[in-house]
Structure 1
Amino acid sequence: MVGDTTLNLAVLIDADNAMPATARLLLAEVAKYGTAHVKRAYGDWTSTNLKGWKEELLRQAIQPMQQFAYTHGKNATDSAMIIDAMDLLYLRHFDGFCLVSSDSDFTRLAGRIRESGLVVYGFGEHKSPKPFVAACDKFIYTENLVLSRIPRGLFLLHTTIETASDDEGWAALSHIGDLLTRKHPDFDSRNYGYSKLGDLISALPLFDVIRHSPREGKPKDIYVRDKRRGGGGNAAN
């Protein structure tokens, strides 16, 4: 059934573990495998952490599913998404599910859906746990979706960051800017809607970004790394 574009699919998105910038590309990829008859995104929409999702929810006709956190440190969103998935599974209206997350909590869900004879497509970042990847019929890394569609200028940015990086994959933003100026003098972050290079890089779901102050009271230096070289999202020190 994998790759059958006549499939009726349910797309369930763990908004806590997915980037809104990839929503359009993700749904375009889903369309290669079937028709998304259900598109739901789960999260606490009162949280400022998810504010970037609002426009994409409207633009892509994704239904937001509200789930308040019951207690600090526990992910109620995962539970709500799993319960909904089982309800939809029992309806028998679907041929498969698209589970969008980089969280290991959905490993058993993927297995249970497959046990019922339905196909499971997983979507997540390269940090996604291997058991979750293996539990899906097919797993698509969202960074690859972005890389395959970015214009030449952003591809040059990506390769420059790789060139400037150290053994652990980190590159100083100042070094990246210098290399871009010398090798690609026509590159301008304003062409992509950002006045500063750092803002452009931070907006792309391709990179980890950290800010580190060498000494107390000094301005923080910015370092960038390809997400595929590391273990996860943005952090600030």
Structure 2
Amino acid sequence: MAKPHDLLAVLVDADNVSPAKIGAVLTEIARFGTASVKRVYGDWTRPELSSWKHAASEHVIQPMQQFANTTGKNATDSALIIDAMDLLYTRRFQGFCIVSSDSDFTRLASRIREEGITVYGFGERKTPEAFRNACDQFTYLEVLDAPAAESAATAPVPTRTPTPKLRADTKLVSGLRAAVDAASGEDGWADLGAVGQFMRKQHPDFDSRNWGYAKLSDLVRATELFLVGPRPQGGLQMRKRGNGS
């Protein structure tokens, strides 16, 4: 889906995201393209956002000031949404990265996608399903590698889910089986990359790291319900176990 030369607009809700995570977020975003615009929104007169000063400077993110004219975060959210629409109408970007756990950006994500532009969402596991599903791809902050300065106590590494629990995860298993059926040829083998793409289309927050596995192939093998092998033309393929296999 993404290409290395894709231009991306990165919009961060400072009220909703810890600055300790932004380095890992930007590293992840680099997989999808070039972060041409990087902006972080908040009321910088608030003491609780002071820790963002160093992070914004280190990662060359432009702080966007929005005074909280009323109680709550609506002013900041509105500023981010207005800027996103202005950037969208420039037709310069192939993707937008919205970094927030706030459901207020659900319609924004949907509107950007209506223009045929890819939306990458980043937020905590508490992010409402509506916003997650409005994105083309959604990544949980908890699965991203923490900066070196962050301690293990503040950035726990996801534990690998054991095989019995993976098999009991009906949503995962049924999704993988459906993806293999959709992507497989007459011989029952399906390209692993195509399976991953199908899963993400059905569930934008699908990510093997959610179960503690760095790669989709590792997760698939761990279920012990599928065979994984090399494709003749390169890469990996998978199929459902059966017929004595």
- TM bracket, shorter-chain basis: 0.5 to 0.7
Please tell me the residue identity of whatever aligns with 2:22.
A
Root-mean-square deviation (CA, aligned residues, Å) is 2.6
> Please, which runs of 5 or more residues in structure 1 have no aligned partner?
161-237
State whether structure 2 residue 31 is matched by structure 1 residue 13: no
Q: Which residue of 2 aligns with 1:137?
A: 136
Report the secondary structure of 2:3's partner residue.
coil
C-alpha separation between the residues in 1 aligned to 2:77 and 2:150? 34
For residues 1-26 of structure 1, the C-alpha deviation after alignment (integer angstroms, 9 at most, x for no partner) is x3322210000000000010011111
Match of 1:104 in 2: 103
Structure-1 separation of matches of 2:150 and 2:71: 41
- Alignment partner, residue 211 of structure 2: none
Superposed, 1:57-206 pairs within 5 Å as 57-146=56-145
Q: Could you report, residue by residue, the CA deviation over 1:35-67 in whole angstroms, capped at 9, with x for unpaired residues? A: 000000000001011011000000000000000
1:43 paired residue number: 42
Deviations 1:192-224 (Å, cap 9, x if unpaired)? xxxxxxxxxxxxxxxxxxxxxxxxxxxxxxxxx
Residue number in structure 2 paired with 1:185: none
Which residue of structure 2 aligns with residue 211 of structure 1? none
Alpha-carbon offset, residue 148 of structure 1 = 9.9
AA matched with 2:138: F
Check 1:97–1:156 CA distance in 2 against 1; reply closer, same or farther (3 A cut): closer
Indicate the larger mover: 56-65 or 142-151. Answer: 142-151
Q: Which amino acid aligns with 1:144?
A: V
Which SS does the other structure have where 2:77 is aligned? Answer: helix
TM-score between the two structures when normalised by the length of structure 2: 0.60
Shift of 1:97: 0.1
Q: What's the CA shift for 1:123? A: 0.4
Counterpart CA distance in 2 for 1:33 and 1:101 is 18
- CA distance in structure 2 between the partners assigned to 1:158 and 1:113 by the alignment: 33
User: CA offsets, 1:52-89, max 9 Å, x none?
Assistant: 10000000000000000111235200000000000000
Find the residue that maps to 2:34 and give its secondary structure. Answer: strand
1:3 aligns with 2:2: yes
The Cα offsets for residues 110-138 of structure 1, whole Å up to 9 and x where unpaired, read as 00000000000000000000000000000
In 1, Cα distance between equivalents of 2:73 and 2:151: 41
Instruction: Give the Cα separation in 2 of the matches to 1:15 and 1:151.
Output: 18
Counterpart CA distance in 1 for 2:52 and 2:155 is 27
1:146 CA drift (Å): 3.4
CA displacement at 1:153 relative to structure 2:
6.0
Q: Is the 8 A contact 2:10 2:96 kept in 1?
A: yes
Distance 1:13 1:30 in 2: 12
Identity in percent: 57
Q: TM-score, normalised by structure 1?
A: 0.62
Give yes or no for contact 2:66–2:79 (8 Å, CA) kept in 1: yes
> Residue 155 and residue 104 in structure 1: after superposition, are their counterparts in 2 closer, same or farther (change >3 A)?
closer
Determine helix, strand or coil for the equivalent of 1:24: helix
Change in 2 beyond 3 A, CA 1:58/1:134: same
Partner Cα distance (2:17, 2:114) in 1 = 26
Per the alignment, residue 31 of structure 1 pairs with 30
Tell me how far apart the structure 1 counterparts of residues 155 and 60 of structure 2 sit (CA, whole Å). Answer: 33
